[in-house]
Amino acid sequence: MPWHRACLQGSEINIFMVTDAKCQQTPTKIKIATRKSKLALWQANFVKSLLEKKYSDITVELIGVVTEGDQQSTIPLADVGGKALFVKALQNALLSNEADIAVHSMKDMSVFPTEKLMIAAICERADARDAFVSNDYSEIESLPLNAIVGTASPRRSCLLQSIRPDVRIALLRGNVDTRVAKLDAKRFDAIILAAAGLHRLDLSSRIQSYLSDDIFIPAIGQGAIAIECRESDAQLQERLSFLHHDITAQCVKAERMINQIMGGDCHSAIGAHAKIIKNKMHIAAMVGSVDGKIILREQAECEVNDAVQCAETVAKNLLSQGAEKLLRA
Verify whether residue 108 is a known catalytic residue. yes
Q: How far apart are CA 159 and CA 165, in angstroms?
A: 10
User: How many residues comprise the chain?
Assistant: 329
Return the C-alpha torsion angle 70, 71, 72, 77, nearest 10. -30
Contact yes or no for 61/29 (Cβ under 8 A): yes
Contact yes or no for 300/310 (Cβ under 8 A): yes
Nearest to residue 156, comparing CAs of 39, 259, 291? 291
Which residues are paired to 225 by β-bridges? Answer: 105
Chain-centroid distance of CA 231 in Å reads: 20
Q: How far apart are CA 142 and CA 74, in angstroms?
A: 29
Nearest to residue 151, comparing CAs of 292, 324, 298, 303? 292
E strands, 123-218, are 130-133, 148-150, 168-170, 190-194, 207-211
- What sign does the dihedral 35-41-42-46 (CA atoms) show? positive
Other CB atoms within 10 A of residue 141 CB: 10
Catalytic residue among 100, 108, 130, 213: 108
3-state secondary structure of 136: coil
**Would you list the DSSP string of 24-50?**
-PPPSEEEEEEESSHHHHHHHHHHHHH
> Active-site residues: which are they?
108
